[in-house]
Amino acid sequence: MQFQAGPLLSKIQSPKDLRGLQASQLPQVCDELRQFIIDNVSVNGGHFGASLGVTELTVALHYVFNTPEDQLIWDVGHQAYGHKILTGRRENFHTNRIIGGISGFPKRSESEYDAFGVGHSSTSISAALGMAVASRYKKEFQKQHIAVIGDGSMTAGMAFEAMNHAGDIPNNMIIILNDNCMAIDPNVGALKEYLTDITTSHTYNKVKDEIWNLLGKMSKFGKSAQEIVSKIENGLKATLLNQSNLFESLNLRYFGPIDGHDVEYLTTVLRDLKDIQGPKILHVITTKGKGYSLAEKDQTLWHAPGKFDKITGEIQKKTFDNPQPPKYQEVFGHTLLELAEKNPKIIGITPAMPSGSSMNIMMRAMPDRAFDVGIAEQHAVTFSAGLATQGLTVFCNIYSSFMQRGYDQVVHDVCLQNLPVIFCLDRAGLAGADGPTHHGSYDLAYMRCIPNMIVMAPKNEQELRNIMYTVSLDSFKELNQAITIRYPRGEGVMPAWRTDFELMEIGKGKEVIKGKQIAVLTIGHIGNQAEIACQKAREKGLESALFDMRFVKPLDEKLLHHIFQTFDSVITVEDAAIQGGFGSAVAEFMVDHHYTSKIIRLGIPDEIIEHGEQIELYRACGIDSESILKKIMSLSDTKISKMLTSH
Ligand SMILES: Cc1ncc(C[n+]2csc(CCOP(=O)(O)OP(=O)(O)O)c2C)c(N)n1
């Protein structure tokens, strides 16, 4: 559905049009932009609160800076809907996150205004610094480089690595710290407390305002005046503040905090900052969900609420005739608590995804045993390793694609030291509308090559429960290995999970459907698509067998010997990168044992898979039930035609 924008917004095809307006018209542009975002997200879904919170900032930035010449980088990019709408994508905005439509995140290939592709957090300062240093090198001294980063994203090590570097080399960069006290869930950590302290300290802010006014006036008078200002500033800092500023101690000039919803004031401040060379940080205070009262009140729920009725605020729930299976996430959350209630050694860890992963269930019930460590995947892994050295049973839940950040820690801190950390990788496989930055495509390949790492994927909720139970027992620790348990976003397949647990044998697969001729080998949830395909093949008279291998590592070698000795065609199916994953493991086994069966590997091809609904993406990769069925039938056709030609 395409919405009509308000009278000012509908005339803005690019930021040039915005810059043609009077500053006094900007509040109206903000109102219209906000309404346009509400209209569109209510029918399409997507990220919501973050873009509403930066509406004024977005308008002010494009008004003051000469984008796309000046480089504007949004951290994470989930807050960049306003930016997209102002930069030539208003008429396409109704296709946001839909297959074939525009991406929900900034993307270099989509627009020259998207200076850097994002999706994972805390990259903006490094990227802006790279651009700023390149501009200096090319003697483009007028060019501006702006990184907009939230207080949640500021908790990541990478942001600090970048600031540490930025304060030490010449560059012209503005970091805008968009402080709304929230990540997806309430932000955590000592930094959050620090930012709150600065924001509420009256003495500090009064003095800062004085310095700021002085700076604003004097920076116009050239270099020597700036040097004087700088001296005064430093003197004031030392004598009056008696309070060190974290950012200034890193050689970043700190300005603010200022009200991020006063668009005209924002433009004045940004204009002044433009004239001040060097790395600087502007602390802006905003409210996530600003302008939509329900979103202001429950900011976590309205981070990405799905479709909703914009008048009543009622969030659409899918309706079904039959009871629906629970989500893997719910099963994980409830099972973890259930196990933790019986086993005092269990600890839960999430890097900033308590509600997304359902770790919040344990956090609520056992706040001293479940931790949100901030957007800090690397730390989450090594923190888990430390806990494991002390004999604790650690469930560290990280989204598959975010785990890419903690890879060295998995190798160096966990597996090299034989520590039995339990990694639960949520959102494994094709993540859906969030697109390529969020697909968990590579985990099977990157985990199975590490010694001392078991790799498992449950086909349904019960298997998830059983493996969680199995690895929570002390007997698992005796293996001296870590485990990766990967499962997708969304519903499983069983309407209800059983209340009991079954011990799982590590490295043991299962025959699901008996058959002849062709064996289909699957791993994890995608096995359900393969199961439908095998059932349909059977209706067509072809008895293909189905094996749920459960473990990519160790492989069930006994079962594989049986398969390669019994079937002459094997199809492997995985919702992971085809190179190096499950199919590769099976093919390696086949070659190593000199079997000569025909093997077809289905999975995510070696290309970037864009956004769309999960099932549409399965189709695009040829791993939905119909595509698998076609492969099964084509194999049987070749067999028949071979038989015919040999007679
Ligand atoms: C490396 C990484 N880990 C986790 C996430 C998931 N994530 C997306 S937005 C977000 C919260 C970001 O908070 P903040 O930067 O303060 O922005 P806000 O949403 O408050 O505007 C998180 C944790 C991510 N995108 N990247």
- What is the SS3 assignment for 497-549? CCCCCCCCCCCCCEEEECCEEEEEEECHHHHHHHHHHHHHHHHCCCCEEEEEC
| β 346-350/393-399 pair status | parallel
**How large is the average pLDDT for residues 270-284?**
96
**How large is the average pLDDT for residues 88-92?**
98
Amino acid at the residue 228? I
Position of tokens 């969304």?
Answer: 490
Res 126: pLDDT:
98
Q: Residue 198: which pLDDT band, with cuts at 50, 70 and 90?
A: confident
* Residues 552, 585 contacting (CB under 8 angstroms): yes
Q: Could you check whether the bond before residue 325 is cis, i.e. omega within 30 degrees of 0? A: no
Nearest CA to ligand 1 atom 25: 120
CB of residue 438 inside a 6 A radius of ligand 1 = no
For ligand 1, pick from 55, 56, 76, 188 the residue to mutate: most ligand atoms within 8 Å of CB.
76
**How large is the average pLDDT for residues 271-291?**
96
DSSP per residue, 372-438: E--S-HHHHHHHHHHHHHTT-EEEEEEEHHHHGGGHHHIIIIIGGGT---EEEEES-B---TT-TTT
Res 499: pLDDT:
83
* Greater pLDDT, 156 or 234: 156
Go through 580-619 and write b for each residue having 16 or more CB atoms within 10 A of its CB, e for each that does not.
Answer: bbbbbbbbebbeeeebeeebbbbbbeeeebbbbebebbbb
- What is the SS3 assignment for 101-117? CCCCCCCCCCCCCCCCC
Task: Report the atom number in ligand 1 closest to the C-alpha of 54.
Answer: 21
pLDDT digits (tens, 9 = 90+) for 583-604: 999 999 999 999 999 999 999 9
Q: Is residue 19 among the annotated active site residues?
A: no
- Among candidate residues 32, 377, 463, 616, the one labeled active-site is 377
**Whole-angstrom distance, CA of residue 635 vs CA of residue 647:** 19
* Greater pLDDT, 198 or 431: 431
Res 204: pLDDT:
60
- Among candidate residues 280, 288, 448, 550, the one labeled active-site is 288
Task: Report the atom number in ligand 1 closest to the C-alpha of 121.
Answer: 26
**Whole-angstrom distance, CA of residue 107 vs CA of residue 261:** 26
pLDDT digits (tens, 9 = 90+) for 413-458: 999 999 999 999 999 999 999 999 999 999 999 999 999 999 999 9
Res 317: pLDDT:
85
CB of residue 150 inside a 6 A radius of ligand 1 = yes
Q: Residue 225: which pLDDT band, with cuts at 50, 70 and 90?
A: low
**Whole-angstrom distance, CA of residue 400 vs CA of residue 436:** 12
CB of residue 267 inside a 6 A radius of ligand 1 = no
**How large is the average pLDDT for residues 386-392?**
98
**Does 647 score more than 50 pLDDT?**
no
**Whole-angstrom distance, CA of residue 476 vs CA of residue 471:** 5
For ligand 1, pick from 74, 184, 426 the residue to mutate: most ligand atoms within 8 Å of CB.
184
**Whole-angstrom distance, CA of residue 252 vs CA of residue 278:** 8
* Residues 355, 299 contacting (CB under 8 angstroms): no
**How large is the average pLDDT for residues 218-237?**
55
For ligand 1, pick from 121, 126, 161 the residue to mutate: most ligand atoms within 8 Å of CB.
121
**Does 630 score more than 60 pLDDT?**
yes
Q: Residue 644: which pLDDT band, with cuts at 50, 70 and 90?
A: very low
Nearest CA to ligand 1 atom 4: 375
Res 239: pLDDT:
45
pLDDT digits (tens, 9 = 90+) for 31-51: 999 999 999 999 999 999 999
**How large is the average pLDDT for residues 318-333?**
86
Res 235: pLDDT:
52
**Whole-angstrom distance, CA of residue 101 vs CA of residue 613:** 12
* Greater pLDDT, 234 or 250: 250
pLDDT digits (tens, 9 = 90+) for 123-182: 999 999 999 999 999 999 999 999 999 999 999 999 999 999 999 999 999 999 999 999
**Whole-angstrom distance, CA of residue 121 vs CA of residue 147:** 12
Q: Is residue 217 among the annotated active site residues?
A: no
Q: Is residue 489 among the annotated active site residues?
A: no
CB of residue 85 inside a 6 A radius of ligand 1 = no
Average pLDDT value over all residues in the chain: 93
Tokens of 439: 């697909």
- Residues constituting the chain: 647
pLDDT digits (tens, 9 = 90+) for 478-496: 999 999 999 999 988 887 7
Residue 413 Cα to ligand 1 middle (Å): 25
* Greater pLDDT, 205 or 240: 205
